[in-house]
Amino acid sequence: MRRFLILLLSAVLLDSCAVMRAPARLERLVDRVERSADRYTPAQWQRANRQYESLVKEYIHNYRRYTTQEKRTAMSAIGRYHALLVDHGIKESVGFIGSLGSYVGGLIDILKQDAGAVKDFLQDVMGMKGKDLSGMLDRLQKYVQ
């Protein structure tokens, strides 16, 4: 009986010291990123992305070993992380586009000065050969004002 209790206690201790499995670590990573995403620097995003990719690879590699609940946890964390990436990308894009507004007026002025070169560029490089480009700069100007 004493041996059984020692074995049982040993098993409980080993189980409590076990390394956290990938689904739980994925969930923990996503929780941490969600709390701080608005303050993340580009370097922090890169580090989080590397950790995320590593955990997803581990999860995929050991997929058959996980319980149904662990699989649900991992898939939920993966979905939440992708939503964070989309949200971050949208915020970055909006900030970039907003910063362009101050340059558009000057850009259109330059384009008007050399409209022939712009037309050649659009027709040759952008594959717009044969398209009617007359008035395009005037239409662009309308949106800037």
Q: What is the pLDDT of residue 50?
A: 96
Residue 105: Cβ-neighbour burial (10 angstroms; 0-12, 13-18, 19+): exposed
In a domain, 32, yes or no: yes
Domain annotation covers residue 71: yes
- Computed from CA positions of residues 122, 125, 128, 129, in that sequence, does the dihedral angle turn out positive or negative? positive
Point out the residues of the chain with pLDDT beneath 70: 1-19, 98, 100-145
67 occurs within a structural domain: yes
For residue 41, what pLDDT is reported? 92
Q: What share of the chain is helix, strand, coil (3-state, %, to 5)?
A: 85, 0, 15
Q: What is the pLDDT of residue 17?
A: 41
The answer as to whether 29 is a domain residue is: yes
- The residue segments making up the domain with residue 31 are 18-97
